[in-house]
């Protein structure tokens, strides 16, 4: 069991680490604050968000992610603030990120705004040596990875209206070596670049039915370009159904329900399209978002993002 956990952890770092060094989300369009600090306050309401994701169910040591965030605009100013907590577990490793975001927004036209954001992150990385092979448990280099702290900074831009958005961000500018063996980085956090965009089409004159295609591109040095393409439909501002495809990796189904004006529930299921499909039963992702609207007024146009 321990050997399998360590083997999977190393395999994750070697084969998927560069493509998934930041926690991976299928419903990224609702969780943009984690990858782009310019998103803070863009919804015009105090927004609370909680997500749980279990990836590659049935595979020992598979990734498991919990995320919580809060962001809000600051009254009578162009500023937005955000705070997020992310816990990411892979095999014997446990990583916690605590991030603070600040955004500044300017009006570029009657419909569009341009936001700039900066992110500061405290990362705490832990390796559970009890899950390693017995001969490795006393290795002092592994002991050094107990609650190892490292800081980071990031930035992003976000151009958006009620119907469209384009964003570019780099959440972490500092590359961090988690473990060095003879001056060779075995686990190195690489700089990741995100480019995302989406547009909402009204399918009828009463705006009861909406369609939103979206794309997220993730670029990391030393790894193939990762592209997520999604298509979501919203019905009578309450129900959302959609599909997504992660290039050469997975196919996903998504559903959502606007329970009240402020409370939204979403669920996503991924099925691998690679050979990894033979070793797991898929990935599950569920989230809740609650928003406090000013003067108890609902958002005029419920959004997919």
End-to-end Cα separation, the chain, in angstroms: 41
Between 152 and 18, name the one with better pLDDT: 152
CA angle 16, 53, 63 (to 5 degrees): 35
CA distance 99 to 172: 11
Mean pLDDT rounded to a whole number for the chain:
85
> What is the average per-residue pLDDT within 130-142?
59
| Tokens coding 22 | 């930041």
| CA atoms of 4 and 7, how far apart (whole Å) | 5
Residue 145 has pLDDT above 80, yes or no: no
How far is residue 88's CA from residue 67's CA, in Å, rounded to a whole number? 9
Does residue 182 or residue 208 have the better pLDDT? 208
Q: What is the pTM of this model?
A: 0.86
Give 266's strand partners: 256, 287
pLDDT for res 156: 98
Out of 144-158, 191-205, 287-301, least confident range: 287-301
Between residues 243 and 143, which one has the greater pLDDT?
243
Per residue, what are the HEC states of the chain?
A: CHHHHHHHHHHHHHHHCCCCCCCCCCCHHHCHHHCCHHHCCCCCCEEEEEEEEECCCCCCCCCEEEEEEEEEECCCCCEEEEEEEEEEEECCEEEEEEEEEEEEEEECCCCCEEEEEEEEEEEEEEECHHHCCHHHCCCHHHHCCCCEEEEEEEEEEEEECCCEEEEEEECCCCCEEEEEECCEEEEEECCEEEEEEEECEECCCCCCEEEEEEEEEEEECCCCCEEEEEEEEEECCCEEEEEEEECCCEEEEEEEEECCCCEEEEEEEEEECCHHHHHCCCEEEEEEEEEECHHHCCCCCCCCC
Residue-level pLDDT at 294: 65
Q: What is the pLDDT of residues 13-39, one digit of tens each?
A: 444 444 445 778 899 889 899 999 999
User: From CA 147, how far away is CA 94, in angstroms rounded?
Assistant: 9
The answer on pLDDT for 302 being more than 60 is no
- Per-residue pLDDT, averaged over 290-303, amounts to 64
Residue 260 CB burial class (10 angstroms; 0-12, 13-18, ≥19) = exposed
**How many Å separate Cα 256 from the centre of its chain?**
17
Looking at the domain assignment, is residue 6 inside a domain?
no
Domain membership flag for residue 299: no
What's the confidence (pLDDT) of residue 178? 63
Residue 2 — very low, low, confident or very high, per pLDDT cuts 50/70/90?
very low
pLDDT in the model for residue 181: 54
Residue 9 in any domain: the answer is no
User: Which is more confidently placed, 88 or 6?
Assistant: 88
pLDDT in tens, 39-65: 999 999 999 999 999 999 988 888 999
Q: Are residues 24 and 63 in contact, defined by beta-carbon separation less than 8 angstroms?
A: yes
Spatial distance between the Cα atoms of 201 and 55, rounded to a whole number of angstroms? 32
300: pLDDT strictly greater than 60: no
- pLDDT of residue 280 exceeding 50, the answer is yes
- Whether residue 257 lies inside any domain: the answer is yes
- Provide the percentage of residues in the chain whose pLDDT is more than 90: 59
Instruction: Tell which wins on pLDDT, 65 or 145.
Output: 65
CATH number for the domain that contains residue 91: 2.40.160.40
List the domain range (segments joined by +) for residue 135.
Answer: 34-178+187-292
The tens digit of pLDDT for each residue in 205-230 reads: 888 899 999 999 999 987 888 999 99
**137 pLDDT tier (thresholds 50, 70, 90):** low
Overall number of domains in the chain: 1
Which range, of 12-16, 118-122, 193-197, averages the lowest pLDDT? 12-16
pLDDT attached to residue 147 = 81
């Amino acid at each position: 069991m321990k050997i399998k956990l360590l083997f999977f952890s190393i395999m994750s770092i070697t084969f998927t680490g560069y493509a998934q060094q930041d926690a991976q989300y299928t419903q990224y369009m609702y969780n943009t604050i984690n990858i782009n600090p310019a998103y803070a306050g863009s919804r015009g309401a105090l927004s609370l968000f909680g997500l749980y994701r279990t990836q590659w169910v049935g595979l020992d040591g598979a990734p498991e992610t919990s995320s919580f965030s809060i962001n809000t605009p600051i009254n009578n100013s162009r500023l937005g603030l955000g705070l997020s907590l992310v816990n990411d577990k892979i095999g014997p490793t446990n990583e916690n990120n605590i991030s603070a975001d600040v955004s500044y927004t300017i009006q570029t036209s009657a419909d569009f705004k341009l936001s700039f954001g900066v992110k500061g992150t405290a990362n705490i990385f832990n390796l559970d040596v009890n899950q390693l092979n017995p001969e490795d448990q006393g290795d002092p280099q592994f002991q050094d990875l107990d609650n190892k702290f490292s800081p980071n900074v990031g930035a992003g831009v976000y151009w958006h209206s009620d119907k469209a958005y384009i964003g570019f961000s780099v959440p972490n500018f500092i590359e961090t070596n988690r473990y060095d063996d003879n001056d060779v980085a075995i686990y190195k956090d690489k700089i990741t670049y995100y480019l995302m965009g989406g547009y909402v089409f009204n399918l009828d004159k009463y705006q009861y039915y909406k369609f939103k295609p979206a794309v997220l591109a993730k670029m990391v040095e030393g790894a193939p370009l990762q592209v997520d393409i999604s298509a979501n439909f919203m019905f009578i501002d309450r129900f959302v159904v959609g599909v997504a495809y992660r290039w050469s990796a997975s196919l996903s189904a998504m559903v959502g329900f606007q329970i009240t004006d402020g409370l939204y529930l979403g669920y996503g299921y991924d099925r691998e399209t690679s050979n990894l499909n033979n070793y797991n039963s898929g990935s599950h992702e569920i989230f809740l978002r609650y928003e406090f609207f000013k003067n108890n007024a609902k958002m005029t146009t419920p959004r997919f993002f």
